[in-house]
Structure 1
Amino acid sequence: MRETEGPPALRRLRAFTEWVGAGRKLTATGQITLADARALVTLLETGDVVDPDIGGRVFKTRSSAELSGVLQVFLWAKAIGLVRVVKGRLVPVKKAAPLLARSDALWQAAFETFSQLVEAVCPASESMLYWEFAPVSRALLTRLYGGPAPLTELYELSWERASAPYVIARPEFVRRANDRDTERMLDVLRQLGAIELTGEEVVLTPPGHEAVRCGLGEAGPGEPVYELKVTLLDTDDPVVWRRLRVSAGVPLSRLHRILAATMGWADYHLHVFTAGGQRYGQPSREWDDGLLDETAVTLAEVAGARIGWEYDFGDSWEHELVVERTMEAEDGVAYPVVVAGEGACPPEDCGGTWGYREFRKALADPGHEEHEHLVRWAGLPSAADFDPARFDAETARRAVLRIA
């Protein structure tokens, strides 16, 4: 296999499809036979070790599913549609022949189906990544879209995202397994040519950056970008607002996450957009069947109307979104970009704008009966540590980089 044939992942997919030929018999459980898998280890140069010797003891390989490299190519070829299973045999898909001849199309198909490789990347299902593979992979790629990241940061992000929905009995053991499988995930993306590892830092390659950009609906050079001002209504001294530049084609679902990160909200409450007499959100929610699907509407489609964004239906934080100007995306700039802002984000669950005013009043008065209680409630070392005028653009920028 020659380097000119593309990244290792594509070369293996082509070689595997050619090896399938007119068809190959599978086992009763739908796996490649062990005899064929042994041949594929050499043919595809997967690096798998058959019958490994560990500490002087030989562990017999009993199934091709134990060979993660072979399994990866097998699952990937099926997910892309290069091969399929018919009556216990693996056969090529004839209409996929043009895909094999076009490296760009094959690469895109491999990138889009990467999330289906969980059984090969996390074979023992010991880590939380096994259960949250697709959302974690999106989270890591989204983070890398914002710029290079240290490996340690990606491991931490993977653990945060994968473990969040669960209560874990043995977190240290599971965390080690999660880091191991995250390393494997990143290695598969490296084999595809979507990322590069330089020392302890990871960066998207140009094809990887473009693929993530398209997936996020972010603007490419020359495409429209809006300079957007977000104001938290009914706040004063100072008014809490942010200015950011965001792609016109971003779906409202992603815009919500961008706005929450830019403002400083923790994003664990419900939300809704309003524009042109319509309401957009998550229509599967039982509390409101009248919502239009926010994933199917872009900012550009509602930009001509007055846009409202409400976060937390209990505290009812009402925001106004104003498109101040339209720009062209600059080459080499990853959007969104936080430009400016003023005012600290109020604490979550403080009772809306009325409660926020009372919170500030109590913090400013050491003699207030709620002063000590609210300092402890807000987790502050002292009342002086909350500055209602504070806004750190760099903190907001980092928060935006971590959204997924």
Structure 2
Amino acid sequence: MSTKKQRRAKRKAKQAERASNPNRVVPLFDSSLSPALQGRFAQWLTERVIPDDPDQVAMFVRRVSLALDDFADQRPGFRPDAWTRADVDGLESMLASIGEEFGPEARIATTLPVTSFLEFLVESDLWAGTDEVATYAIERLEQVFGLRYVGADIAPVDEDEERAALLATGVLQRITAFLDWLGDGKPVTQTGWLKLAAARDLATALDVPVYEHLRSMGDHPYLSGMWNYLKVLDLVDVGSTRATPGPRVPEWTDQSLDFLRSALATWVGGRLPKPNALASVRSDVGAQVIGVVIQAMSSSPVTDADIDRWRDDEIGADLGYLVREYLSAFVAEGWLYYVDGAYVIPEGLRPAVVSAIPEPPDLPDLPAIGMLTLRVELEYVQPAVWRTIRVHSDTMLGELHEMLQVIFDWEDSHLHQFAAGDAVYIPGHQLPDDLDSRDNTENEDLTAVGDILRRKGDQAIYEYDFGDGWTHRMTVVDLDEDEDDDAKQGVVEGAGMAPFEDVGGPPGWEHFLAAVNTPSHPEHQNLRRWAGIPAGVSVDAKVFDVGAVNRQLDRLGLR
């Protein structure tokens, strides 16, 4: 697999090859997707997957081309439109490796476009491989990505059939049993729970276990949960001394379809685990359970065999076991069915269950790929000091730091950091050993510029010398995804002399300029001697030599 660092090495190798052999023959074909195929894929994505985001469509196409190009470097003869089972296994390994090195977001950001490309080939009759390999590939890629939020099949249902299906669930049957038991009311404690004797009677009526040492209804997980659920539905009204039928009991009695749907949806919504925003999609039990429930309403429900194939290499506990614990409970509640080894939700229950599904988590923004043009401005400095630079998206922040030191004539004698969003990026050797103490602090040597600056208008901060407080605001003014990898980085234009090191920050620089250019200033001579400015030479703070900076970048191998 070609990592970002390896791609940079490959680009430099290409530069060296071109310099040593200017008459080399460029092959007519390469392993990248043809422009025609890229165009058809982009059209399919626009129509089927990403209708209102041309930038994201272009990113999908570019990422697929790069991923398959990298993979073809490893496997001569690889065809993007006709994979073998060995190709699939190799791709799965490559994508998993991306996650190990760069995190789950990077893995997802590559796997989803590749999976979409395969689906595009199959649906567009462009797949030249076998149907068996295509099915195998999609299954294996989905294991890398994690169960996806697929569309549920919600067909129109006869109202009487839907009502009967809802009332047949264990959840709603217990509502009936509860209301029959409640009658005109039962006594409650000052804390709003049923009195202990009544709670024990209710457990018997609902056919749930009665714990011998139960001291309060609040200590019984099922009874307390059911009680709160009935209060949310307004089917029970809890007063200071007595619980009585709630204001919506007539809707229940009339078997209002809207109310029955709402009753099941409320229960399901409370029972579904919440996805963990800090976990990878593949290792997140909550996301996987929700994925099973969604696919239980589709034409391709999840089977026990599917769950058996899940790998649990990212978490300590067995993923399949944890997911099955949830599914078994849902089956016992009667709204999820287990049929011939598969988890299915009957059509009559789907309108209620689908309304309980939480919104899918946003997919992570895909990193930029190509040549970024950045305007880098030194804040709070007059006259204005700014540079427009071009940098490859896969350049690591650590290398960008080296470039900025040259571009702004710093001496790299102080600490620095990058900041984007809520995250801060520092050199790897400065990271604390304790992961819990890192908070949102990341390794700049493992983070590419394109990971934090992804589209026009995106901004990040580069701060140097925390004492003087030199703040460089970086803004993306352009992203050229078609730029050749061999294109040079460097400065395009700029203005303003970079301040001197240790001059005291923006106020110190302003004071310095006023003093060295004003012979009558009391610090005129001292500051000129400190800066090494020869007699008779004025300091023009507006000058900037683009060529000199780029030559220095060349000498240091930073272009």
Normalized against structure 2, the TM-score is what?
Answer: 0.32
Flag the structure with more relative contact order, 1 or 2, with Cα contacts below 8 A and sequence separation at least 6: 1
As a proportion of its length, which structure holds more strand?
1
Which is higher, the Rg of structure 1 or of structure 2?
Answer: 2
